[in-house]
A and B are shown apart, each in its own frame.
Chain A
Amino acid sequence: MQQADYQLIIVGGGPAGLTAGLYAARARLKALLLEKGATGGQVLITDWVDNYPAFPEGVNGFDLIDKMTAHVDRFDLEKKFSTVTSLDLAQDVKTLFLENGEQLTGQTVIICTGAKPRKIGVKGEEELRGKGVSYCATCDGPFYRNQEIAVVGGGNTAIQEAIHLTKFASKITVIHRRDELRATKILQEKAFAEKKIDFLWNAEVSEIVGGKTGVESLKIAHKDGTTSSLSVTGIFILIGIEPNNEILPLEQLETDDNGFIVTDTEMCTNLPGVYAAGDIRSKKSRQIINAAGEGATAELSAEYYLGHLE
């Protein structure tokens, strides 16, 4: 076997990467966790986590990540804060290219780059980002005290954050393209009972209209072919996610139609010694608990592979 800087390199420090890192550190692998910002990933933009076991009172997204990070630190996992710009994963020794020109090599790689909020793709969305267009209710909710705003989406994230926004906004219109929500029942019950939340069913935002001060209104296209306008100062777009796959060698890695990495149940990709875990994987359920579990599985697969190298 050729020499490599590390036995294992983990790309991405959300719950999947941190859990893989925890297992690797306890296995005493020469392992490195690479993260572009700070550990946490999308959990950082989650106000409240009520479905992660062992937190009977629920936990704030940031606090959960703080604990996960403290946990890997206890076992001295090596971490590096840098952005990976590209990877070559098709060789026995995998090479990662960093933004500062540095190159790192690993015998195995676990990809945990996660996902990011999906955009609607309408006029005004890009131009008014940060001026009324938001993808993070936890971050930006407090700027909308006593204002009328809209939430786009009907899944768990949209409904949970709409409920969270009732702490600040005077009125919240949830705009959903279907006539029923996908969100879990307990969230639906809370949202329907909330007086500040209104629903606009079978409707899509076709344009975000704003001036110098920011968002002023939304153009709405209804399923029956009619259009209308809704006066709001803010719009929170929570319509799902897209993969963080820009840095990945998509000509080497097998992905699904949406760009998420295909793996088997042991988190093995189509490339030997390369694994994927968490939201970047092609799968149906994207939960913090799955991401953590997949991180553990991926690391154990990497260990098994390392144990069988010539």
Chain B
Amino acid sequence: MASDKVIHVSDSEFDSKVVKNDLPCLVDFWAPWCGPCKAIGPVIDDLAAEFDGRVQIAKMNVDDNPATPGKFGIRAIPTLILFKDGEVVDQITGAVGKAQLNELINKAV
């Protein structure tokens, strides 16, 4: 069940939808060939519903969008980076549980 609260962003949209977003933004860098990325999918959807209106949850497919992951030195997925006012607040790599992601997001709200 994919949530409509989660936006999908591309390299060209990253600036407008993440960097210039008024809300803190959690970006999930993923790819279709990555099992653990699929594993955390339902958790990301849940978080998007819970933080609706307070935090923007976004996903970026690293296969289709190599520039942004390169810029942030991403060499493992899933990597989740929390942005606030365009700056990196913190990041997590690996298929972590909901509690850890909650903790991450709460650093920006």
Would you give the shortest CB distance from A295 to chain B, in whole angstroms? 19
Q: Are A213 and B73 in contact (CB under 8 A)?
A: yes
Give 1 or 0 for each of B29-70: 1 = CB within 8 Å of chain A CB: 001011111111111001000000000000000010000000
- A99 an interface residue at 8 Å Cβ cutoff? yes
Closest residue on chain B to residue A132 by CB atoms: B75
With CB as the reference atom, state the residue of chain B lying closest to A133. B76
Q: Which of B40, B74, B94 contacts A38 (CB 8 A)?
A: B40
Interface string of B80-109 (1 = CB under 8 A from A): 000000000001011101110000000000
User: Which residues of A are found within 8 Å of B37, using beta-carbon distances?
Assistant: 139
- Chain A residues with CB below 8 A from B9, complex form: none
Residue contact A83 to B98, C-beta cutoff 8 Å: yes
Residues in chain A near residue B73, CB distance under 8 A: 131, 212-214
B77 within 8 A of A: yes
A134 at the interface (CB under 8 A from B): yes
Q: Does A130 contact B (CB under 8 A)?
A: yes
Q: Report the minimal beta-carbon distance from B57 to chain A, rounded to whole angstroms.
A: 16
| Residue from A38, A61, A234 with most neighbouring chain B CB atoms (10 Å) | A38
- The CA-CA distance from A36 to B100 in the complex, in Å, is 12
CB of A249 within 8 Å of the partner chain: no
Interface residues of B in 6-39 (CB under 8 A from A): 31, 33-39
Per the bound structure, the CA–CA distance linking A140 and B78 in Å amounts to: 9
Q: Which residues of the partner chain B approach A212 to less than 8 Å between Cβ atoms?
A: 73
> Are A131 and B75 CB-contacts (below 8 A) given A36-B97, A99-B98, A138-B34?
yes
A139 touches B77 (CB 8 A): yes
Q: List, in ascending order, chain A residues with CB within 8 A of B76's CB.
A: 129-131, 134, 136, 139-140, 143
Q: In the assembled complex, how far is the CB of residue B32 from the closest CB belonging to chain A, in whole angstroms?
A: 10
Tell me if B93 and A37 are in contact (CB < 8 A).
no
Q: How far is the CA of A210 from the CA of B63 in the complex (A)?
A: 25
- Residues of chain A within 8 A (CB-CB) of B99 are 83, 99
A 119-176 contacts with B by CB, 8 A: 129-132, 134-136, 138-140, 142-144
Task: Say yes or no: B31 contacts A37, CB within 8 Å.
Answer: no
A131 to B73, CA, bound (A): 7
Determine whether the beta carbon of B75 is less than 8 Å from that of A81.
Answer: no
Q: In the bound complex, what is the Cα–Cα distance between A134 and B73 (angstroms)?
A: 14
Q: Is the CB of A130 within 8 A of B79?
A: yes
Say whether, besides A36-B97, A37-B43, A37-B97, A45 and B74 are in contact (CB < 8 Å).
Answer: no
User: Pick the contact of A37 from B33, B40, B63, B74 — CB < 8 Å?
Assistant: B40
Known: A44-B35, A130-B76, A130-B79. A38 touches B93 (CB 8 A): no
Q: Which residues of B sit under 8 angstroms from A38, Cβ to Cβ?
A: 38-42
Query: Are A130 and B75 neighbours in the complex by a CB distance under 8 Å?
Result: yes
CB nearest neighbor in B for A129: B93
CB pairs A–B below 8 angstroms (27 shown): A37-B39, A37-B42, A37-B43, A37-B97, A38-B38, A38-B39, A43-B35, A44-B38, A61-B35, A81-B42, A82-B98, A83-B97, A83-B98, A83-B99, A99-B99, A129-B93, A130-B75, A130-B76, A130-B91, A131-B73, A142-B31, A142-B63, A143-B74, A143-B76, A144-B75, A214-B75, A233-B75
Q: What residues make up the interface of B, taking CB atoms closer than 8 Å to A? A: 31, 33-43, 46, 63, 73-79, 91, 93-95, 97-99
Hey, which bits of chain A sit against chain B, CB under 8 A? 36-38, 40, 43-46, 61-62, 65, 81-83, 99, 129-132, 134-136, 138-140, 142-144, 212-214, 233-234
